[in-house]
Amino acid sequence: TLDIPATTDAVLTADTHLIQSWADLDALKQNGARTVIVGAKGTRVRDSDGRELIDGIGGLWCVNVGHGRREIIEAITTQLETLDFYSTFYNFTHPAAAALAEKLAALAPGSLNKVHFGNSGSVANETAVRMLHHYNNRLGRPQKKRILSRIGAYHGSTHLAIAMTTPGYSKGWDAARELVHHLRCPHHWREGAGMTEAEFLDALAEDLTATIAFYGAETIAAFIAEPIMGAGGVITAPAGYHARMAAICRAHEIKYISDEVVTSFGRLGHFFASQDVFGVEPDIITTARGLTSGYQPLSATIISDEIHEVISGPGGAFLHGMTYSGHPAAAAAGLANIALMEAEQIPERVRVTGKRFEAALRGLIDLDLVGEVRGSHFMIGIEFVRDKAAGAPFAEEAKIGMKVAAAAQKRGLIARPLGNILILAPTLVLSEAEIDEVAGILREAITEVQ
């Protein structure tokens, strides 16, 4: 049992003033049911009814080392007692931010050695684009500003980040949308009908090449891609996709931004997935979430020496930063989190346990409702279909993901519904028994709904 206090009425009362994120606020007004999480330890959380639930989404794809780790909590407390806050503006700095930047430079691939901190994945991506716009201005090519993203992508909620996200979410944000072109979604099962995976990859490369020819490389600053699309439904691209896209980009002097907000810090068995899993050395990596395992809000934009050289050159400063960029408590949390991951060899262990998790969930493919189980290690999506043989999708209104998630929650597991898809991105410290428990709960929940 977890040693966590029960809920208080104050939490529930305050909740009526809280605007929920990424929620249909109107639907919430009609049916105000909320899951109130009051505490957490290890792989589990406790709700306000006192029920313990396996945290199948790691808070929100972020509590990689598990909940309640003393090492991180103590590092944050010690840091606050020593230096509660100072900024990294102007010429001020402090040891925690400097040490974490040094650590990230050591962990990141190749020449990615310079780090700017923010406090969310959205901000990390906006920072990356602002840096590249400044970079191109400095190089005397101010028209090189367009961003290539992909249908199905998720890059955040701020104005530009939502414009880089899959088009459906950015209706009404036309100014930022003009900067962005969305390439084809690289999901073979849904988008590559009648093609082998290799042929589909050729088609995706052709789409990129044709898009560059259409706009002109001189107008395109960057290509941004998640190694595995997360919030778009855990979509993996065909083998060799990232390296192929990166090579085309490089040939046209288009920078490659790898959005590793979800895929880094052990989720796929490595600190960063870009190079170690997908064989690409990006020009910029953005990360957040697992960087502190969610114990403090922190993101990082890690850039190559070459980009840094240009944006830090003389004649026109790159003026950018948020008050809390590199907040001491967040930086201390990041350092303690990485130290813990290294001491416990969490990325290495995920290469075994994550594969076991993936295999256990792939085993659900025999159920009629399950059309595809995809993803890798501790990042899995299950797509439900109305007609398995035809792969026919349910109408959005069927809310199948929500029904399965509710059935799973009733049985003690939190999973995240997304239309006809259910997403699992748990803490990375699930035991073998818990992995089997998750698969068992999902089997029962899906069977109940189908």
Contact residues for ligand PLP, defined by CB under 6 A: 120-122, 125, 154-157, 226, 230-231, 259, 261-262, 288
CB atoms within 10 A of CB 282: 32
Nearer to ligand PLP, 113 or 157 (CB): 157
Nearer to ligand PLP, 154 or 271 (CB): 154
Nearer to ligand PLP, 126 or 281 (CB): 126
CB of 437 to ligand PLP, least distance (A): 26
Phi, psi for residue 285 in degrees, rounded to 5:
-115, 135
Nearer to ligand PLP, 22 or 90 (CB): 22
CB of 53 to ligand PLP, least distance (A): 21
CB 327 within 8 A of CB 300: no
Nearer to ligand PLP, 119 or 360 (CB): 119
Nearer to ligand PLP, 262 or 400 (CB): 262
Write down how long the chain is.
Answer: 450
Nearer to ligand PLP, 128 or 429 (CB): 128
Residue 260 CA to residue 139 CA, distance in Å, equals: 27
Nearer to ligand PLP, 288 or 302 (CB): 288
Please list, residue by residue across 1-38, b when 16 or more beta carbons sit within 10 angstroms of its beta carbon and e when fewer do. Answer: eeebeebeeeeeeeeeeeeeeeeeeeeeeeeeeeeebb
Name the residue whose CB lies closest to ligand PLP: 121
Residue 324 CA to residue 448 CA, distance in Å, equals: 47
Residue 334 CA to residue 102 CA, distance in Å, equals: 12
CB of 230 to ligand PLP, least distance (A): 4
CB of 12 to ligand PLP, least distance (A): 25
CA nearest to 121, candidates 289, 306, 359:
289
Residue 303 CA to residue 114 CA, distance in Å, equals: 5
Q: What angle do CA 344, 345, 348 make, to 5 degrees?
A: 150
* 49 CB-near residues (< 8 Å, 6+ apart): none
CB of 248 to ligand PLP, least distance (A): 22
SS3 state at 31: coil
* 270 CB-near residues (< 8 Å, 6+ apart): 276, 277, 347
Nearer to ligand PLP, 230 or 347 (CB): 230
CB of 238 to ligand PLP, least distance (A): 19
Residue with tokens 């313990």: 52
CB of 333 to ligand PLP, least distance (A): 15
CB of 55 to ligand PLP, least distance (A): 16
Phi, psi for residue 259 in degrees, rounded to 5:
-85, 95
CB of 2 to ligand PLP, least distance (A): 26
CB 63 within 8 A of CB 414: no
